[in-house]
Structure 1
Amino acid sequence: MIRHVLLPATCALLLSACTQAPLRGTGDLGLVVERASASVQIIDSSAGKALARIDGLGDLSHASAVFSRDQRYAYVFGRDGGLTKVDLLQQRIDKRLIQGGNSIGGAISQDGKLIAVSNYVPGGVKVFDAHSLELVADIPATLLADGTKRSRVVGLVDAPGQRFVFSLFDSGEIWSADFSHGNTPQITRFTGIGQQPYDAFITADGRYYMAGLFGEDGMAQLDLWHPEHGVKRVLGDYGRGQAKLPVYKMPHLEGWAVADNQAFVPAVGRHQVLVMDARTWQQTDAIAVAGQPVFVSARPDGRQLWVNFAYPDNDRVQVIDTETHNVIADLKPGPAVLHMEFTARGDQLWLSVRDANQVQVWDPYSLKRLATLPATAPSGIFFSSRAQQMGY
């Protein structure tokens, strides 16, 4: 008879393993920003519940997040200049620093090794090592005429070829910072692109960078396949200048949706979602909706759009069929719907209802609410699946 004898070290290892939490993946995890309490919740989309609340993240009034390529860490960009690395598995802050005075978002590089943050104060972009959060590069924006301030930076995205692309609000520029040859970036500047670019997005394939203009109508488009062609103007009637109504909240251009070779755009100051041919960038339709749209989010299969609105219609969400352009549902989740996020395969839509202090989970096929979770003044919802998408 063979006897198995456990050595003391082996016994200790087994006992230790029994007391630890079981291993799990992070592909179904995400964050909900609680903007009024400097906290985030870690959420589990498979179970439809919150797992933990993490405090101490500073001013989250305009916070956003990106994820490491292994989807374990979230990087949260706070309005106070805070950059916070959150460990989704350990459910704690891994590292945190104040890198500026007024931050407006960030991005993670194509290889996942760099984190870039765009700043109003001081104007420019700072780039950090994603593991250590040590400063890698400081890219100051254009100095303004008074000689004391630099242009505010907006619309920062990651792009193919280990690049970051961003817009300069005060000086009317688009810059590309190429890190493909090391941590000293090659900067390409495009000037005179239009007045006051206020936000931007990049198409899912990483080819077109589009900046909305606050100071005039139209959008500035940079073809990253052919940057030598410069920046051109598209959608000449889109923008702030010709708005017929007061603009209660500027739409987020990251809320654009592209489906079936069509781009669906929240109109500025109008009760419309504009439709463009995503190959020619010419407008083809305008869909009447209930209010001034903020986000236009496409279900991952491209068949549906979910649209939320600025005040006073921000208690509503409308659903649009992308084939017929008809509004097929008019929902009222509650007061102040701020953000919407689909799970990666589109089986759920999560939305934040700030003034009801809740997050809701919806089935976008049956249009039924699946769950309601308590949250303190929730705003942005971000799933870790964003790690595998360009421009998030």
Structure 2
Amino acid sequence: MKSLWKPVLFASALFLVVFLAACAAQTPAPEPTGAAQAQAEGVALVKGKQVQEYYLDSCSGCHAPDRRGATGPALLPGRLTEKDAYYFDVIKEGKPGTIMPPWKTQLSDAEITSLVAFIRSEAAASASEWTEKDIWGSLTVITAEDKLPSEPVKPMNLDNLMLVTERENQGIAVINGDTHELLGTIPASYRAHGYSFHPTQERWAYNMGRDGWVFKIDLYSLKPVRKIRIGLDARALAISDDGKYLIAGNYMPASLVILNADTLELVMYYSTHTTDNEGKEIDSRVATIMDTAPDLVGPYFLVALKEAGQVWRIDWSKPDFPLVKLEKVGHILHDGFLSLDNRTFYLAAQTDNWMAAIDVDSMKLIKNIETGVIPHPGSGAAWEADGHSYAATTHAGEGKVTIWDTDTNEIAAAVETSGAGLFLRVQENSPYVWADSVFSKEPNKITVIEKTAPFQVVKVISEGKRTLHPEFTADGKFVYIADWDGDIVRVYNAETFEKVAEITGIHTPTGIFNSHRRAETIGH
């Protein structure tokens, strides 16, 4: 019997192999998706993204989504007159004296070569579309609110949480500012950028990624609750003082939305297709958005349009959201912040090298304060000291913090720092201003400056690899510093400058935002 079964089994096995081979030949392989599809089609990838997507995320802020240029030069084939090796070196090593940083710690040589090839290619004629229908269709409930806990799941001070952008990790690290303990990571989207905290309900926070996804976040459980995509490339986010409305702005497409803060449903949509300072019709990116306090100046959102050089004031207290426009504010508008009394909006006009001072009530330009090369105040710094009210900005084009008197709008001091920077911060209980120098030749220096005249530098902290975005704890006793390339957040005593903690387990930390910002008057 055994001798009869052997040939039968062999024949059966042979038939099965032939049959499976035939099926394989007739059944198409599953279509690759995402990065796999791009790779299969020979499309260049940078950090796992198609090269044009990486450009949009990392380069378009300075060079514009359509590569026509803004604070950085245009990257169009007709303008690129040097050989490829020149542009390869600029991307890899940066360009001293400009805001172009070195990317050698982020990108491989092959990825830089792909970027050079991309900027040599023909640019798209217009920005990609993302319509109101697309916005509505993207609204997603992630976690049902009736399933959320009734109190925080971990010991935490909800007025002293540090939310840290994990730039390349699609997450937000959450740290207990009382104990400097890492509590967990909230899933988010690409390069979490805008943060807002509900002004009356401590459990809710809001975040927007640069890819346009807006999240409602439950701080009790450290989970996202809802999300909606407002565009394809986005930057600015704010919440009204009554907690009813979110406002968010896009780079691409040129648009602005108002959302219901509870449900994230779309309430109002604005196109930011308008005219620039010279009267040319353009699509303008939204540069920054502020919310003003009704008891100080009015129930307003302030919106800066980057290329248009316009500021829009929207009254969120009225059903039709009436809008007032101020034109010809400056060229390439960027970050801004409010004076402590909310009556003046200070806004960077980066290619003009000034901070525009705008009267919020009358919507008139008061003065252009010529502070230095490419002002970049981040979320701003405004304080009172010795009977004076001051404000300050860092500069992306030179190592300088410029301080001015907000009563007169006259410059009070220009303080030299270690190099060009992006962010500075003050706190009412601390006597110092902290500023980074993230664009300097040695991008790991933090300058600490006295709040009072003559505004002396009292300390330069040199530690880490690429350090940025100082943020105070709610009581002003400690300052957190992100080390982008070091994957560390360091904590310093705000009075003695001694390091008190190093928080690891955080991937590419950049922006740090304390939940106490909900109580700030300089915009949130």
Q: TM-score range by the shorter chain?
A: 0.7 to 0.9
Instruction: State the AA in 2 paired with 1:185.
Output: F
Q: Equivalent residue of 2:518, what SS?
A: helix
1:52 Cα offset (Å): 1.1
Q: How far apart are the structure 1 equivalents of 2:256 and 2:463?
A: 37
CA contact (8 A) 1:258 1:264 kept: no
CA contact (8 A) 2:209 2:235 kept: yes
Q: Which runs of 5 or more structure 2 residues have no equivalent in the other structure? A: 1-148
Between structures 1 and 2, the one with greater helix share? 2
> Which of 243, 249, 260 pairs up with 1:129?
260
- 2:336 maps to what in 1? 200
Q: How far apart are the structure 2 equivalents of 1:25 and 1:322?
A: 28
Matched, 1:297 2:425: yes
Closer/same/farther in 2, CA of residues 21 and 336 from structure 1, 3 Å limit: closer
> Which of 474, 496, 516 pairs up with 1:366?
496
What are the residue-to-residue correspondences of 1:135-146 with 2, within 5 Å?
135-143=266-274
- 1:258 maps to what in 2? 383
Q: How far apart are the structure 2 equivalents of 1:23 and 1:330?
A: 34
1:344 Cα offset (Å): 1.8
Q: How far apart are the structure 1 equivalents of 2:352 and 2:253?
A: 25
Matched, 1:158 2:158: no
> Which of 51, 58, 62 pairs up with 2:183?
51
CA contact (8 A) 2:383 2:428 kept: no
Matched, 1:223 2:359: yes
Instruction: State the AA in 2 paired with 1:303.
Output: P
Q: How far apart are the structure 2 equivalents of 1:34 and 1:201?
A: 24
CA contact (8 A) 1:157 1:165 kept: yes
- 2:327 maps to what in 1? 191
TM-score normalised over the length of structure 1: 0.86
Instruction: State the AA in 2 paired with 1:152.
Output: R
1:257 Cα offset (Å): 3.9
% identity of equivalent residues: 24
CA contact (8 A) 2:215 2:228 kept: yes
Between structures 1 and 2, the one with greater strand share? 1
| Higher Cα radius of gyration | 2
CA contact (8 A) 2:358 2:367 kept: no
Q: How many residues align?
A: 360
- 2:465 maps to what in 1? 335
- 2:313 maps to what in 1? 176
Task: Using the TM superposition, name which of 319-328 and 130-139 deviates more.
Answer: 319-328
Q: Which runs of 5 or more structure 1 residues have no equivalent in the other structure? A: 1-16, 241-249
Matched, 1:349 2:479: yes
Q: Equivalent residue of 1:355, what SS?
A: coil
Matched, 1:236 2:367: no
Q: Equivalent residue of 1:251, what SS?
A: strand
CA contact (8 A) 1:318 1:331 kept: yes
Instruction: State the AA in 1 paired with 2:471.
Output: E
1:125 Cα offset (Å): 1.4
TM-score normalised over the length of structure 2: 0.65
- 2:161 maps to what in 1? 29
Q: How far apart are the structure 2 equivalents of 1:301 and 1:21?
A: 30
Q: Deviations over 1:155-212 (max 9, x none)?
A: 2111133211011112111110112122x21010111222221222222322111111
- 1:8 maps to what in 2? none
Q: How far apart are the structure 2 equivalents of 1:104 and 1:286?
A: 29
> Which of 248, 251, 255 pairs up with 1:120?
251
Closer/same/farther in 2, CA of residues 107 and 216 from structure 1, 3 Å limit: same
Task: Using the TM superposition, name which of 169-178 and 261-270 deviates more.
Answer: 261-270
**Structure showing greater relative contact order (alpha-carbon pairs closer than 8 Å, 6 or more residues apart):** 1
CA contact (8 A) 1:121 1:152 kept: yes
Matched, 1:73 2:220: no
Q: Equivalent residue of 2:195, what SS?
A: strand
